[in-house]
Amino acid sequence: MATKLTKPQRAVMIWMSKGWKAYVAGGKNRVEINGHRVCTTDTMETLERAGLVTRLGVLAWEPTEAGRQWTDPEVPARQES
């Protein structure tokens, strides 16, 4: 993905890169992962266009292979000793 992710997009991808799914909850615009409100449906649609998540039916998303491999560029990689 060429563009830098926003803070809400990063929060979503931290969860989803670990295999979690996101669901619309508490209305038509609120998205939760593991019971935590993380973003809006607009954020999920942006991540979907970027190829990091894919829609499951109408009210859910799961990570794509690229989404599972995503790593947060703002967290330094752990060095092996």
pLDDT in tens, the chain (81 residues): 446 899 999 999 999 999 999 999 987 799 999 999 999 999 999 999 999 999 998 899 999 999 999 987 776 665 555
Per-domain boundaries in the chain: 7-66
- The CA distance from 80 to 77, in Å, is 9
In this prediction the pTM is: 0.84
Report the pLDDT value the prediction gives residue 26, as an integer from 0 to 100.
80
Beta bridge partners of 53: 63
Beta bridge partners of 24: 31
Which residues in 61-77 are b (16+ Cβ under 10 Å) and which e?
bebbeebeebeeeeeee
Report the pLDDT value the prediction gives residue 1, as an integer from 0 to 100.
46
45: which DSSP letter?
H
If one counts every other C-beta atom within 10 angstroms of the C-beta of residue 15, the result is: 17
Report the pLDDT value the prediction gives residue 76, as an integer from 0 to 100.
66
